[in-house]
Amino acid sequence: METNTDPVSNARPKVSGSTVAWGIAAFILAIIVCTKNDSALVLEAGFLAKCFAVVVGTALGLLGAVLGNAIRRFAQPDMVYTNGGFFQLIWIKVFWNIGPQVIGLFIGVFVGCTLVLR
């Protein structure tokens, strides 16, 4: 029996832990949007429509978070200056670590759920 030792054929696409975490966050947010929302779109939708909305919302939310991460890597400043003191500096650091991803996550989940339930 011959074993394949070619590294190219055994290569799998690597998924980072942060991508998995953003996918889980998108799934949880999509479930919350489809269950705790009192708008007419959600209240009139059936069970299968809500399930499909969760799937599409999760996919678009993950896409939004990944795009937000790409924007963060491109636009994140090397240094920040503040007049607000230590807590303002902490806020700026926290924003540039997760801010663009969270914004993309929310936009993606809301757009995905709205497209399906419309």
Select the more confidently predicted residue: 15 or 20.
20
**pLDDT (tens digit, 9 = 90+) per residue, 64-85?**
999 999 999 999 888 888 888 8
Put simply, whether the predicted model's pTM sits higher than 0.85 gets the answer no
Tens of pLDDT, residues 85-102: 889 989 999 999 999 999
Residue found under tokens 């998924």: 15
The domain spans of the chain are 19-117
The one-letter amino acid at 14: K
Residue 106 class from Cβ within 10 Å (0-12 exposed, 13-18 middle, 19+ buried)? Answer: middle
Q: CB neighbours (10 Å) of residue 73?
A: 9
- Using the predicted structure, report yes or no on whether residue 2 has a pLDDT greater than 80: no
List Cβ neighbours of 18 (8 Å cut-off, separation of 6 or more).
69
The pLDDT of 21-49, averaged and rounded, is: 91
- As a 3-state breakdown, the chain gives helix, strand, coil percent values, each rounded to 5, of 70, 0, 30
Q: What is the pLDDT of residue 18?
A: 87
